Chain A
Amino acid sequence: QKEVEQNSGPLSVPEGAIASLNCTYSDRGSQSFFWYRQYSGKSPELIMFIYSNGDKEDGRFTAQLNKASQYVSLLIRDSQPSDSATYLCAVSGYSTLTFGKGTMLLVSP
């Protein structure tokens, strides 16, 4: 059984700060990793995916992957109150994704 672990939070950061969200996974053979954002009462939406070790940047978001440590992270620079949401880490398997429970992020003005 694949496992994806996330700290449930909430992670509270002030506006303009860097938010760091972390995720670990159990299956060493996993190839692709995804970060989804889910606002309260809404469906998840993809922020980023990463499949190579290192960093991948997209605007204010940076995904980091370390396959040796089985660790994925998401950095949000210049955090905004509109970033307040639950962030779900997902790991690909054969035709399916395994999701973590999500980390709630609260950005205060």
Chain B
Amino acid sequence: NAGVTQTPKFRILKIGQSMTLQCTQDMNHNYMYWYRQDPGMGLKLIYYSVGAGITDKGEVPNGYNVSRSTTEDFPLRLELAAPSQTSVYFCASLVGGATDTQYFGPGTRLTVL
């Protein structure tokens, strides 16, 4: 199993550009999450999904959109990129249940200039 994969690993965007961060998991997990991590700030939840076709906002959803058409994929869309979206983005997944482990992808480092 590849686990949770994310592409791209690095990206530089200009202000106002758009892009999609890809996340795929091959563990048949129901739950998937998108976090952003700013230096020294821990992980902030952007959006999450409890299954295909179901998504919900997290703590910091503004400026982002998601979709979940399949169990495996959970892309994160940035529209009109802003410097405040410069961050490291992590995707994670888990099967379900309060004590299940969240498995994280390797992250995408995004810079908006």
CB distance from A38 to the nearest CB of B (A): 9
B99 and A43 form a contact (CB under 8 A): no
CB-CB < 8 A to A88: which residues of B?
Answer: 42-43
Knowing that A32-B99, A45-B104, A96-B58 touch, tell me 10 more A-B residue pairs with CB under 8 angstroms: A32-B98, A42-B106, A46-B101, A46-B102, A49-B99, A51-B99, A88-B43, A95-B31, A101-B42, A102-B40
Closest to B105 in A: A43
User: Does A31 lie at the interface of the complex (its beta carbon under 8 Å from any beta carbon of B)?
Assistant: yes
Q: Evaluate contact between A99 and B102: CB separation under 8 angstroms.
A: no
* Interface residue ranges of B44-97 to A (CB < 8 Å): 44-45, 48, 50, 56, 58-59, 90
**26 interchain pairs (CB within 8 A)?**
A1-B59, A8-B40, A32-B99, A42-B106, A42-B107, A43-B90, A43-B106, A43-B107, A44-B90, A44-B104, A45-B104, A46-B101, A46-B102, A49-B101, A51-B99, A92-B99, A95-B50, A96-B33, A96-B45, A97-B45, A97-B102, A98-B45, A99-B35, A99-B43, A100-B42, A102-B42
Give Cα A49–Cα B31 distance, bound, in whole angstroms.
18
> Which 7 pairs from chain A and chain B are nearest by CB?
A43-B104, A101-B42, A99-B43, A32-B98, A99-B42, A46-B101, A92-B98
Measured between beta carbons, the chain A residues less than 8 angstroms from B58 are: 96
For residue B102, which residues in chain A have a CB less than 8 angstroms away from its CB? 46, 97
Complexed CA–CA distance, A32 and B102 (Å)? 13
Q: Known contacts A8-B40, A43-B106, A44-B104: does B48 contact A96 (CB below 8 Å)? A: yes
* Distance to closest chain B CB from A87 (angstroms): 11
How far apart are A23's CB and chain B's nearest CB, in angstroms? Answer: 11
Is B2's CB within 8 Å of the partner chain A? no
Q: Which residues of B contact A92 (CB under 8 A)?
A: 98-99
Task: For residue B29, give the distance in angstroms from its CB to the closest CB of chain A.
Answer: 12
**Which residues of A lie under 8 Å from residue B99 when comparing CB positions?**
32, 49, 51, 92
Query: Inside 8 A of B56's CB, which chain A residues have their CB?
Result: 95
Within 11-61 of B, Cβ neighbours of A (below 8 Å) are at 31, 33, 35, 40-45, 48, 50, 56, 58-59
